[in-house]
Amino acid sequence: MAGTAEPHGTVGDLASRLAPYLRDESLLLNALTHRSHCAEADGAVSNERLEHLGDAVLGLVVSEHLYLSLPGVPEGDLARIRAAVVSTAALAPVAARVGVGAALLLGRGEDLSGGREKQSILADAFEAIVGATFLDAGLDAARALVLDLLGEQIAEASAVAELGDAKNRLQELTSRLGEELPRYEVSESGPDHAKRFAAVVVVGDAVAGRGAGHSKKQAERAAALEALEARGSAGACVPAGGAAGGSCRHGGRAGVPRGA
């Protein structure tokens, strides 16, 4: 393929990482070829057809896994989990982590404008890689690839559905106990294509829980879930400005200082 010599080393690196699943490097090159590259390389074919196929395979694999692993979860929740897992915001960080960005075949203009870090381009390439894996080695290999690389995201999203909406449950609990409603403080870190969010949930003057995730909502839910688990087991919280060891309004013991 014309125009692939310069980034071929990074394509080789990615090929090594994906070797347990995808062995046909010509399919991998196609999966990494953005349409902007095709305008500058005679005979190059964009990854758009592979992306279309990979999107369908990805949806099937995630849906099958959720159906089998979450037998008590209703259809609406399964759909919401799948949507979260296969979203651009979820796929782009995974693609960046395994080195897709460095290996992309981009036109010069797209490359200079930061295309290697654009979420949409990274997510599309990930889907194309899933499609390439399906063509090269079949559904079992594509399933193994998806569950290996997206396992953490699937587990996090599944936990939210299995336990219900932790934020709503915490709000209902504090209201029932006559406490102030929970409020959330969220910070973020990392580049745009791989952001991480950290949240604390505060009830009254006390930190009730902490959480992290790939989105603000995910981090807030994780913090709310920790607060619920703490109250269910030890009722832990902490005065916002004080040391551990004090008592909380709901009678539990204090935990980690808010500023820690």
> Exposed, middle or buried, 59 (CB in 10 Å: 0-12/13-18/19+)?
middle
186 bridge partner residues: 199
Interatomic CA distance for residues 154 and 70, integer angstroms: 11
For tokens 């980034």, what's the residue? Answer: 7
The tokens 């393929």 sit on which residue? 1
- Asked whether 34 and 103 are in contact (CB, 8 A), the reply is no
Question: For residue 201, which of 184, 189, 218, 219 has the smallest C-alpha distance?
Answer: 184
DSSP, residue by residue, 52-97: HHHHHHHHHHHHHHHHHH-TTS-HHHHHHHHHHHTSHHHHHHHHHH
- For 235, half-sphere exposure in the C-beta direction (CA atoms, 13 angstrom radius) is 11
Q: What amino acid positions are annotated as catalytic residues? A: 55, 127
Identify the burial level of 182 via C-beta atoms within 10 angstroms of its C-beta, where 0-12 means exposed, 13-18 middle and 19 or more buried: buried
Q: Give residue 58's Cα distance to chain centre.
A: 14
Q: Give Cβ neighbours of residue 101 (< 8 Å, ≥ 6 apart).
A: 95, 116, 117, 122, 193
